[in-house]
Amino acid sequence: MFYREAGDFKTSYTADSQTFPIKFDRYRYYVVLAVAFGIIPFIINDYWANALLLPFLIYAIAAIGLNVLVGYCGQVSLGTGGFMAVGAYACYKLMTAFPDVSMFIHVILAGGITAFVGVLFGLPSLRIKGFYLAVATLAAQFFLVWLFNRVPWFYNYSASGQINAPERDVFGIIITGPNAPAWATYLFCLIFLTLCAILARNLTRGTMGRKWMAIRDMDIAAEIIGVNPLKAKLTAFAVSSFFVGIAGALFFAVYLGAVEVGEVFGIQKSFLVLFMVIIGGLGSIFGSFAGAAFLVLLPVVLKVVGVDVLGWPTDIVAHLQLVIVGALIIMFLILEPHGLAQLWRVAKEKLRLWPFPH
């Protein structure tokens, strides 16, 4: 009825190759942006920001990053936690070394440093494939966490071994530290998420993304038709780590404020982000959003239902959460290996023909 291409004439190549070719999609996108930027900052409070919105925004960035690597380029990585830690520590070092520089620049530089480290650990991917690579990325995970734990330079020789985000601002508005207002931290993360999503979406639609997908589908065949695997794999690692690094920097500086690296960026974090990508849908930007939203919401909903409604002790709810997450992952892999994004695609196909399916 309302969701269709018919009557939506494209008169230029630019119009034809735009991200959302269907009018309804385009308007939905504008509405989402308008709500996210124009309405939510005015009604947000600390609880919503800290319990739901900030983790969602930050995990979505990390999930987009991992999706570039796993979903688009087919290189499974279990080192996300380690790369997030690189972003966090790079951001911390920059924040303390250059207090007058804007946080925007720090976060982006932190992403850049992580991209460099990511390329370094991506080098073995030229020789190692599949599971072997997944396990090799564990080396990055454990080595990086150990490094940040043991080398005092990274945490500025603080007695506790923790890193604490000092108060920094953007254009005079405090972004980090305990005094940062909820709307400012929210907007700060939202801007990064929007930029990252647009960048990722356009990268994956372009030459680079097609090369990644060629490598993913069959690397030898891709090599024969002229895709340089060195370039394709390393750019995937770089872009992916860039996003993951930004997510790590935001996670530390804006969301948590203080970080103990083994706890926050351990192997569990790597799996969490991987699950977001799987549940959301491999090879889909929308899927990264859906997966992040799902896994951020799930514990909150379970806690509300289990602890507040049913009156169970918190440890039972925590265990149940493991059971449910595990069961959901298996269910998704069996029923819909392409994740939430595929459900969305199917729904859109149905909508196009609705209400006359034949």
Partner 1 sequence: MPEQLVFAMEVILNGLMAGVLYALVALGFVLIYKASGIFNYAQGVMALFAAMTLVGIMNGQVPFAHLINSTFGTHFHYFGWNVPALLAVILTMGVMVLLAWAVQRFVMRHLVGQEPIILFMATIGLAYFLEGVADLMWGSEIKTLDVGLPQGINLWIDETTFNIFDYGFFIDNLDIVATVIAALLVAALVAFSQYTKQGRAMRAVADDHQAALSVGISLNFIWIMVWSVAGFVALVAGIMWGTKSGVQFSLSLIALKALPVLMLGGFTSIPGAIVGGLIIGVGEKLFEFAIGPMVGGATENWFAYVLALIFLVFRPQGLFGEKIIERV
Beta strands (DSSP E) in 128-251 are 163-164, 169-170, 173-174
Q: Which amino acid is at 212?
A: W
Q: Minimum CB separation from partner 1 for residue 328, in Å? A: 8
Which stretch, 3-11, 12-20, 48-56, 139-147, contacts partner 1 (CB under 8 A)?
139-147
User: Which are the contacts of 348, defined by CB distance < 8 A and separation ≥ 6?
Assistant: 3
Peptide bond into 299 cis (omega under 30): no
Q: Where does the chain show beta strands of DSSP type E?
A: 163-164, 169-170, 173-174, 258-259
In the list 174, 267, 297, 351, the residue contacting partner 1 (rule: CB under 8 A) is: 267
Contact call for residue 128 and partner 1 (CB under 8 A): yes
Residues 50-79 vs partner 1: string with x where CB under 8 A? --------------------------x---
What does each C-alpha distance from 282 to 63, 112, 117, 274, 310 come to in angstroms? 10, 24, 24, 10, 35
Which residue, 247 or 272, is less far from partner 1 as judged by CB?
272
Q: Classify the phi-psi angles of 31: left when phi > 0, otherwise alpha if psi is within -120 to 50, otherwise beta.
A: alpha
Cα–Cα separations (whole angstroms), residue 59 to 91, 117, 179: 17, 20, 23
Q: Is 298 in the site for partner 1 (CB under 8 A)?
A: no
Closer residue to partner 1 in complex, CB, 173/307: 307
- Write the burial class of residue 283 (CB in 10 Å: 0-12 exposed, 13-18 middle, 19+ buried): buried
Nearer to partner 1, 119 or 320 (CB): 320
Nearest-angstrom CA–CA distance, 118 and 136: 13
Using CB under 8 A as the binding rule, whether residue 305 contacts partner 1 is answered as no
Q: Which span sits near partner 1 by CB under 8 A: 23-31, 103-111, 141-149, 202-210?
A: 141-149
Report, in Å, the least distance between residue 154 CB and partner 1.
12
Q: Which is nearer to partner 1, 250 or 278 (CB)?
A: 278
| 169-170 vs 163-164, strand pairing mode | unpaired
Residue from the set 27, 37, 98, 132 that interacts with partner 1 by CB under 8 A:
132
Q: Do residues 236 and 75 lie in contact, with contact meaning Cβ atoms separated by under 8 Å?
A: yes
Residue 202 and residue 19 in contact, taking contact as beta carbons nearer than 8 Å? yes
The set of residues, in sequence order, having a beta carbon less than 8 Å from that of 71 and lying 6+ positions away, is: 277, 281, 282, 283, 284, 287
Q: Which of residues 312-341 bind partner 1 (CB under 8 A)?
A: 312-313, 315-316, 319-330, 333-334, 337
From candidates 43, 159, 224, 309, binder to partner 1 by CB under 8 A: 224
Query: Using the rule CB under 8 A, which residue among 139, 182, 297, 351 binds partner 1?
Result: 139
Q: Site map for partner 1, 3-42, x if CB under 8 A?
A: ----------------------------------------
Q: Tokens in use for 344?
A: 């969305």
CB of 308 to partner 1, least distance (A): 14
Within positions 338 to 357, which residues make up the interface with partner 1, using CB under 8 A? none
Distance between CA atoms of residues 84 and 306, nearest Å = 31
Min dist. Cβ of residue 295 to partner 1 (A): 12
Size of site (CB under 8 A) for partner 1:
51
Where on the chain is the footprint of partner 1 (CB under 8 A)? 76, 124, 127-132, 134-136, 138-139, 141-143, 145-146, 149-151, 218, 220-221, 224, 267, 271, 274-275, 278, 310-313, 315-316, 319-330, 333-334, 337
